[in-house]
Amino acid sequence: MDELVSIIVPVYNAEKFIRETMDCVVAQTYPRWELLLVEDCSRDGTVAVIEEYIRENGEGRIRLIKQPENMGAARARNRGLQEAIGRYIAYLDADDLWLPEKLEKELEFMEQKNAAFAFTGYEFADGNGKGTGKVVHVPETMNYRQALSNTTIFTTTVMFDTRKIAKDLLEMPVIKSEDTALWWKVLRNGYTAYGLDENLVKYRRPRKSLSSNKVEALRRIWNLYRKAEHMGVLSSAWHFCFWAVRAVMRRV
- Which pLDDT tens digit goes with each residue over 154-191? 999 999 999 999 999 999 998 888 999 999 999 999 99
| pLDDT tens profile 52-75 | 999 998 668 999 999 999 999 999
> What local confidence, expressed as pLDDT, does residue 113 receive?
98
Residues 6+ apart with CB under 8 A from 129: 17, 20, 97, 202, 204
Instruction: Write out residues in the chain with pLDDT < 70, as ranges.
Output: 58-59, 206-220, 222-231, 234-252
> What local confidence, expressed as pLDDT, does residue 210 receive?
44
Is the overall model pTM greater than 0.75, yes or no?
yes
Residues 6+ apart with CB under 8 A from 103: 5, 28, 29, 30, 33, 90
> What local confidence, expressed as pLDDT, does residue 66 receive?
97
